[in-house]
A and B are shown apart, each in its own frame.
Chain A
Amino acid sequence: MTINVRPARTAAEEAIAAALEASITAEAGQGRIPEVRRAARDAFLSHGLPSRRVEEWKYTDLRAAVRDFPNCAPAPGAMEEAEAAPLVPSLPNAGRILFVNGVLSRAGSDFAALSEGVTALPLDAAIAAGDPLADRINALSPSRYDGPLALNTGFLGEGVALRVDAGVKAARPVHIAHAFPGVEAVAGFTRTVVVVGAGAEVTLVETFAGRDGVAYQSNHAVELVVGDGAIVNLVRIQEEGDAAFHFGTLMLELGREAKLNLFALAQGAALARYNVYGRFEGTGAHAGIRGATLARGRQHSDTTLVIDHAVAGGESRELFKTVLADESHGVFQGKIVVRRAAQKTDGRMMSQSLLLSDRAEMDNKPELEIFADDVQCGHGATAGALDRSMLFYLRSRGLPEKEAEMLLIQAFLGEAVEYVEDADLRDLLIERISGWLEKRAV
């Protein structure tokens, strides 16, 4: 029994509550959406923004960090769309869906140009048309309250629904790009629902970028169903502006012998939190969940995973690398849950961090929660500075200090990046990481 003594609402919580109410009153949506939104609103009203007293938010205190709440943006005009263009990494081979300030840009998106067997619909259109994809909205939400996700659901309206038909090997990746180009701070919420049919295969790329110095709030949730035997590659590149708040949520369900290969690069935002809820629903599935976090200045970057093995024979591999400069703060929380029925589960989780400055802070909390006996599970975590003997070896061969450091950092991150199978995407990630390192070296 927990007695819920909630402290008085903060100004930000008041502003959010008012905005939620206004948004739902103005346009609640169709079908079951109003009900879903109201439930999320009520949850927010009773729990508010999570503070560090909430175990899952021990190291990322939103109640203290979020000071106000800007308005949601209207649909982008031509000017915003033009400004957004440089914030979207070019992926020549991909079909693109663009959100500007959290609102779908119809002009910047190319629904028609997706691969055969891949259908994308604006979320509101899917709901209006009663497409089965709309039934999936909020189907994978965790039972425990998650503040940013509750807001994402409360403000639900913008987004995209994607279907990959059974057996289809999508020829081109789908690029879901998010840009926040404005000088005015806004709040943007999008929901992406993806259902990948049995035996299908698709590559998804999510990118996030915005203007530096603007305290916008960027909140995006993805619900991803990977059907039996399907394969999904998901690459996420988070390069939000340096004053932004970024909240990302991935809710994942893996079918029998399904396979997910995720890589999440995080190097933007003043405060970022990426929450992954992965659930093994079919036997013999595999999830590779990896990522790299780079932070400098006073950035705060949090990655939190809950990998739930509900059925037997699942395999999960988590590898996260964190590089922290200046006074930045990195957080990794990873929980592997193995339920009673999930015999023969094989779960390995590793978090490694490099602290480049004495003022940086890394908090690691890897967790195992195991109820089945015939399993192989493990986690590891390390934190420390660059290896001095390696540095000396490189310098004795003539590499200047900065260059030697950079090479070692790249090698450190490379151990995670190398799991990205698509060579173009791997190169893109390496290019983004190198860009960060070079900027830092200057």
Chain B
Amino acid sequence: MPAVQETVERVRAIDVDQYKYGFVTDIESEKAPKGLSEDTVRYISARKNEPEWMLEWRLDAYRRWLTMEEPTWARVSYPKIDFQDYYYYSAPKAAPKSIDEIDPEILKTYEKLGIPLRERDALLGIQREGGSKVAVDAVFDSVSVATTFKEELAKAGVIFMPISEAIREHPELVKKYLGSVVPVSDNFYATLNSAVFSDGSFVYVPKGVRCPMELSTYFRINERNTGQFERTLIIADEGAYVSYLEGCTAPQRDENQLHAAVVELVAMKDAEIKYSTVQNWYPGDKDGKGGIYNFVTKRGDCRGDNSKISWTQVETGSAITWKYPSCILRGDNSQGEFYSIAISNGHQQVDSGTKMIHLGKNTSSRIISKGIAAGHSDNTYRGLVSAHRKATGARNFTNCDSLLIGDLCGAHTVPYMEAKNASAQFEHEATTSKISEDQLFYCLQRGLSQEEAVALIVNGFVRDVLQQLPMEFAVEAQKLIAVSLEGSVG
């Protein structure tokens, strides 16, 4: 049997139920009544002690949502979602006031998660030797349970807090920016999020400030039948810089849990935002049962001249991924980047990519996407690059490569390129291939095992993207790739 065939057999045999994070934390929680109605929206708003304007904003979104239809254009299929069958709010009882008050069960959960380790350490206030400081906002089901290093950040003038707090404490900033990148009626899921979002992170980096540490949010869905709708808003004012990391897990459940987040980034003149995600929601079992439905709207607005927004994502989890982190290149000379690794195994379905909308002059964008499909999964890259009439000097380079492991999966590439301007230079290339017998043989001949060889080659395949992640994150991502792809590897 040829080496590649052997690998294929092994991958096929992998027990994808080996999901490492599939434990449930046993804590008492408080939930909104099941289902979605204006009352649910009012309940959430009341639980958060929100001002009237915020409730109105949510209700407006809810009413719009009622008139919208679920999009069907993505290459994913799933039974119709019953939106009345979910809980839209779940919080650990007795919200903690400081880290010491956090339910030890929750802390144990973060300990058990292991990935990313720094978050747990940071949550416990430990700074590892040699490791850089990371401020963490941990979101458990619907609420933020802890935010670390708050004071230190405040000294630099950086605001980093749960968005529920920001709504109360910095209403002028929230009012100004919330919904300014992803409008309330942007799409079905974003509108739903606008109505029912429960928590998330808020970051404001003032003019000229380089955020002194990495900011991080850790999301975990714990409750059964719970939707998690977090909302993140990051603003880098003129000349500011911030790097933000996001990690996600969920316990193993055999029903589908719903996740519909919205992330808005605003980069003013000369500002830069780096947003990295390692998404490892529960992907479902080997028969495709359970797993997270992940419908996410992420968008960055390069609002000022010379601004830059960079998205990096490592997507290994979720039963369904519907996600297109995008950049609106509005400012002159602004830059957008999208680096993505999307790995699908089992019965996972991934439809992910980006949009680069060139509006300003001399804007540039770069897209590097690496899709790896194994098992019975389908993995689609979908991307749009457009240069408008007045976007003279727009530049894009796109490279999307797909790798298939086994012959029961599918890898698809659907790029759209719209050039409305002669001075735009677009270059796109895409390839689909398998792990070459020659490469594999070379590794085996040098003494690597089959699994090690595949992991090595896959890591080489995704290297360009891994390099974009902050170092410690990259190491974890690399491990995660091996785990999600092989189970028997690493």
Direct contact of A and B (CB under 8 A): yes
A383 B426 Cβ-Cβ under 8 A: yes
A363 within 8 A of B: yes
Complex CA distance for A151 and B73, rounded to whole angstroms = 26
Interface of chain B, main secondary structure: strand
A sample of 14 inter-chain contacts (CB < 8 A) reads A3-B69, A353-B419, A356-B422, A358-B392, A364-B416, A364-B419, A365-B414, A366-B413, A370-B411, A371-B410, A373-B405, A381-B415, A381-B417, A384-B423
Whole-angstrom distance between the Cβ of A63 and the nearest chain B Cβ: 18
Contact, CB under 8 Å: B415 / A384: no
Chain A contact patch, size range: 35 or more
User: Which residue of chain A has its CB nearest to the CB of B414?
Assistant: A367
Cα A1 to Cα B81 in complex, Å, equals: 13
6 tightest A-B CB contacts, nearest first: A355-B422, A373-B404, A383-B419, A378-B431, A364-B417, A368-B413
Per-residue CB proximity of A308-338 to B under 8 Å, as 1/0?
0000000000000000000000000000000
Residues of A within 8 A of B427 (CB): 380-382
Q: How far is the CA of A365 from the CA of B383 in the complex (A)?
A: 10
B421 sits at the interface (CB 8 A)? yes
Number of interface residues of B (CB under 8 A): 40
Known: A367-B412, A369-B410. A355 touches B421 (CB 8 A): yes
Which of B69, B414, B420, B431 is the one whose CB lies under 8 Å from A377? B431
How far does the alpha carbon of A370 sit from the alpha carbon of B414 in the complex, in Å?
A: 11
A298 located at the interface, meaning its Cβ lies under 8 Å from any Cβ of chain B in the complex: no
Closest to A376 in B: B433
**Beta-carbon contact of A383 and B417 below 8 Å:** yes
Q: Which residues of B contact A373 (CB under 8 A)?
A: 8, 404-407, 409, 434
Contacts A358-B389, A375-B432 supplied; 18 other A-B pairs, CB < 8 Å:
A355-B421, A358-B392, A362-B419, A364-B416, A365-B415, A365-B417, A366-B415, A370-B402, A370-B404, A371-B410, A374-B4, A375-B434, A378-B432, A380-B427, A381-B427, A382-B427, A383-B424, A385-B423
Interface residues of B (CB under 8 A from A): 4, 8, 69, 72-73, 80, 389, 392, 402, 404-434
| Minimum distance in angstroms from B225 CB to a CB of chain A | 24
Query: Which one, B404, B411, B422, B434, contacts A385 given CB within 8 A?
Result: B422
Interface residue A9 (Cβ < 8 Å from any Cβ of B): no
Contact partners of B404 in chain A: CB under 8 A: 370, 372-373, 375
Digit string of A106-150 for contact with B (CB within 8 Å is 1, else 0)?
000000000000000000000000000000000000000000000
When distances are taken between beta carbons in the complex, the residues of chain B under 8 Å from A353 are: 419
Closest Cβ neighbor of A369 among chain B residues: B412
- A281 at interface, CB cutoff 8 A: no
A201 at the interface (CB under 8 A from B): no
- The answer to whether B424 and A384 have CB atoms under 8 Å apart is yes
- A363, B417: Cβ atoms closer than 8 Å: yes
Interchain CA distance A340-B411 in the complex, whole Å: 11
Contact B431 A361, beta carbon cutoff 8 Å: no
CA distance A355 to B391 in the complex (A): 14
- Contact across chains for B428 and A381 when beta carbons are under 8 A apart: yes
Cβ-based interface call for A421 (8 A)? no
A172 within 8 A of B: no
User: In the bound complex, do residue B430 and residue A379 qualify as a contact, i.e. CB atoms below 8 Å apart?
Assistant: yes
Contact A381 B410 (CB under 8 A): no
